[in-house]
Chains A and B, each alone.
Chain A
Amino acid sequence: MSVDAATVRRIAHLARIAVSEDEVPHLQGELNAMLAFVEQLSEVNVEGVEPMTSVTPMQMKKRQDVVNDGDIADDIVANAPATEGHFFLVPKVVE
């Protein structure tokens, strides 16, 4: 399989990465090189094979459903580019 220019633009938007028109051909070439490389997986017989979900045969541990952390609002906003009090600032989302 290979991707066309429209698909490159669509993937970029899904990934929320701005891509300019002159970057598209270059990206298309690189993505198609990767897709050509992974194409060889289609020759493997995977009939009846379970997809891997965990490399270690262990039960996922569950945490106790209790509050054991919190009251660190200062820490959480400490690295934010724009804040007001303990809120993150973003451009207007709802009209």
Chain B
Amino acid sequence: MTDLTSLTLAEARKGLADKTFTSLELTDAHLSAIEAARVLNAFVMETPDQARAMAREADAKIAKDDAGPLAGIPLGIKDLFATKGVRTTACSKILGNFVPTYESTVTSQLWRDGAVMLGKLNNDEFAMGSANETSCFGPVGNPWRREGSNTTLVPGGSSGGSASAVAALLCMGATATDTGGSIRQPAAFTATVGIKPTYGRCSRWGIVAFASSLDQAGPIARSVRDAAMLLRSMAGHDPKDTTSVDIAVPNYEAAIGKSVKGMKIGIPREYRLDGMPAEIDRLWSEGRAWLEAAGAETVEVSLPHTKYALPAYYIVAPAEASSNLARYDGVRYGLREQGKTITELYENTRAEGFGAEVRRRVMIGTYVLSAGYYDAYYLRAQKVRTLIKKDFEDCFAGGVDAILTPATPSAAFGIGEKGGADPVEMYLNDIFTVTVNMAGLPGIAVPAGKDAQGLPLGLQLIGRPFEEETLFSLGEVIEQAAGRFTPARWW
């Protein structure tokens, strides 16, 4: 039998349906792979007993031909999703040993459809980071290394554990979340596929909140088709999240292989940055040529407020984070540091429980919302956000079906290489992805090639609201042209 961990989710589904192997065999193969890859630090909690129990249940259902669309498929869950009875920490010391008494809507829908949970995946603390270096469990290793080098690189972030685990064949797919690029940037760094759906497509209920007007859940997977299969289960209306939309979930997989002939693809000139590596520019041109070869038409477009998206984000996101993270008070759950007064208890708990990046963002958020500064910072940033969204609306009104951009301004870098002196250096990682969150649009990152050092690079496609199907059709064209990429195993 071929190594079961090397299958795509779609191939595994067929093998399970044909009774070539069982979910228990598939699950055990992944549990062994996880055990052998602990040096990557992708999982912060392994749940082998629960995984085997869920696999047995799936096998029983498959035997009775009563299987859901993801029956028996082993997945990893980002530690930002509340999982009933299984420790959930957002990779922050402040949540300590928090064990939810409830299940997030997104994960409950995956279990409803028969998926198997292998464990909880590492991420940046409260999803604040672009390298998975701010986790209280330590950094995650990228399964990709530069050719001829032993240096461990970051997998990107904040969904670094999800991307690393999927790329290293430790799970068949993973949940992730994206507030400014946290699905698409790590996907690009690890040659995996990641989609951030339209704001409101997936319920945020039971996901640890970072910036509520920007946060969206989505999958990281080994292929475009696999991502489509996972999103179908994750998406859907939820009365418990008032921003969740009541629109039927399409069968995204049906969009795979659909013709893109006649589609109009925008190439935004503002994404051509000064000093951008030539190989990123070349990859972008290649992507354009692949889509044209498949019958799409490409046109230059302008998104004039692009350069303001990242600074506006670093007002809006910290402001919302400072409000959301006010709940960590040392009283109701998680860590408590003693204090003589209740204020001292709060201050000591939050100083001890939050890491440096989280403290910094909560403080900047507090400042931009404070009396006398609200109009100058927060209100202005929300107005700029309206202009950013209008750029996209004008572009789509001109008949553009989707926009093609690079996913990241560089390939993966070494642990500790960036952001040490100036936090803004790290923030620039999200320069191509953050606009999409500001406008609430869907965006997919698809592996498209490698740089001169053998590291993966990705392209991003941005779609109209709720037109994820267009992104899957176009993403498949890129995947067919570029091929799929698997790292050489060194761990």
Q: Chain A interface (Cβ within 8 Å of chain B)? A: 1, 3, 7-8, 11-19, 27, 30-31, 33-35, 37-42, 44, 46, 49-56, 58, 60-61, 63, 72, 75-76, 78-82, 88, 90-91, 93
Contacts and interface: CB of A to CB of B under 8 A. Distances in A.
Contacts of B232: none
For chain A, what secondary structure do more than half of its interface residues adopt (helix, strand, loop), or is it mixed? loop
Interface string B233-275: 0000001001101000000000000000000000000000000
Contacts, number: 161
Chain B interface SS verdict (over half): helix
Query: How many interface residues does chain B have, given as a range?
Result: 35 or more
B383 interface: yes
A56 B360 contact: no
B387 A44 contact: yes
Nearest to B388: A52
Contacts of B365: 15
A31 B386 contact: no
B335 interface: yes
Given A51-B379, A82-B336, A16 B367 contact: no
Contact of B362 (A8, A17, A41, A52): A17
Contacts of A31: 360, 363-364, 367
Contacts of B242: 60-61, 63
7 contacts: A16-B350, A17-B362, A37-B314, A37-B427, A41-B311, A79-B97, A79-B332
B439 interface: yes
A38 B315 contact: yes
Contacts of B389: 52, 55
B305 interface: yes
4 closest residue pairs by CB, A with B: A55-B440, A51-B382, A79-B333, A81-B336
Contacts of A34: 314, 360, 364, 423-424
Given A16-B326, A46-B384, A55-B199, 19 more contacts: A14-B370, A18-B344, A18-B347, A18-B348, A27-B363, A34-B424, A38-B311, A38-B314, A40-B311, A41-B315, A41-B381, A49-B383, A51-B379, A52-B383, A54-B213, A56-B200, A61-B242, A79-B332, A91-B340
Given A15-B362, A16-B347, A79-B98, A55 B331 contact: no
Nearest to A1: B376
A80 B331 contact: yes
Contacts of A38: 311-312, 314-315, 377, 381
